[in-house]
Amino acid sequence: MSIVVRTLSERVFDIVREQIVVGELATDMPIRQDALAAELGVSKIPVREALARLEQEGLLISHPNRGYLVRPMSAAEADEIYALRLALEPAAAAFAAVHADDADREEAQRVYERLDAAASDNLADVAVRNRDFHTALVRVGGRLLTTQMVERLSILSERYVVAHLEPSGRESRAHLEHRQLLDAWMARDGDTVEHLLTEHIKATLADLKAQLKVAV
């Protein structure tokens, strides 16, 4: 029984997370558990668990009288998320590049290929593959806490990744930057990895801040 409920909860989590990431759920519209359960054909238990997890991930906000609402995107939040990524991710990826073994490099290549193969018209999938790629570059070296923090920030970044990739031309630039980053990582060139990843994150943040300010 518990296995079935947990599986349903994960499915509901994935469905709602994708709707949030691609902007299908408006920030000012409450998510009603009864309606969502009926729509997905499940009980309220997995829906409640999924929504609570999405709140923990920072994608939803719970209000006593309105239920769950999608956490609004903002230039200020993007600035905070990407500043934290800058503080952690480039140095962690550089460390991992130097300490990765052949199996680690094979896995990083596979993760990159999955990102490369992600359909450009499914930006939610691209966002997940992007998170997997960035996390793979820091996972090596036994730094579990650092990896968890980077993954957490990558999850919070997903909506911003989608927003960043929507304007024409940015996906091609991101693809090139990821390829260059992987090449340096595979070559154990920690200094270049740190530089490229720093510039990649900075460029994304600059685009986002301009984009979000215009939207406001």
> What CATH number should be reported for the domain holding residue 111?
1.20.120.530
Identify the pLDDT of residue 120.
67
pLDDT band at 214 (very low <50, low <70, confident <90, very high): low
Q: Which residues pair with 31 in a beta bridge?
A: 68
Clarify whether residues 21 and 53 are in a common domain.
yes
Clarify whether residues 121 and 16 are in a common domain.
no
Among 70, 99, 117, the domain-final residue is 70
Identify the pLDDT of residue 216.
41
Residue 3 pLDDT exceeds 60:
no
Residue 137 pLDDT exceeds 80:
yes
Clarify whether residues 159 and 85 are in a common domain.
yes
Higher pLDDT pick, 122 / 4: 122
Output DSSP code: residue 31: B
- List, for residues 29-88, the tens digit of each pLDDT value: 889 899 999 999 999 999 999 999 999 988 899 988 778 999 988 888 889 999 999 999
| E-assigned strand segments in the chain | 60-63, 67-70
Higher pLDDT pick, 212 / 72: 72
Identify the pLDDT of residue 208.
84
Clarify whether residues 145 and 56 are in a common domain.
no
CB neighbours of 20 closer than 8 A, spacing ≥ 6? 54, 59, 60, 70, 159
3-state SS, residue 149:
helix
Identify the pLDDT of residue 121.
66
Output the pTM of the full model. 0.80
- Most confident segment among 97-106, 120-129, 139-148, 199-208: 97-106
Clarify whether residues 65 and 133 are in a common domain.
no
- List, for residues 153-167, the tens digit of each pLDDT value: 988 888 888 877 776
| Structure tokens given for 210 | 């301009």
Clarify whether residues 126 and 197 are in a common domain.
yes
pLDDT band at 211 (very low <50, low <70, confident <90, very high): confident
Clarify whether residues 171 and 201 are in a common domain.
yes
Give the span between the Cα atoms of 125 and 118, in whole angstroms: 7
Higher pLDDT pick, 6 / 47: 47
Q: Supply the CATH number for residue 42's domain.
A: 1.10.10.10
Higher pLDDT pick, 192 / 24: 192
One-letter amino acid for residue 181 of the chain:
L
Please tell me the total count of domains within the chain: 2
Write down the residue that tokens 């997905």 correspond to: 40
pLDDT band at 103 (very low <50, low <70, confident <90, very high): very high
Write down the residue that tokens 């406001």 correspond to: 216
Identify the pLDDT of residue 170.
65
Residue 181 pLDDT exceeds 90:
yes
Range of the domain at 206: 75-215
Residue % of the chain over a pLDDT of 70: 92
Residue 4 pLDDT exceeds 80:
no
Among 70, 98, 124, the domain-final residue is 70
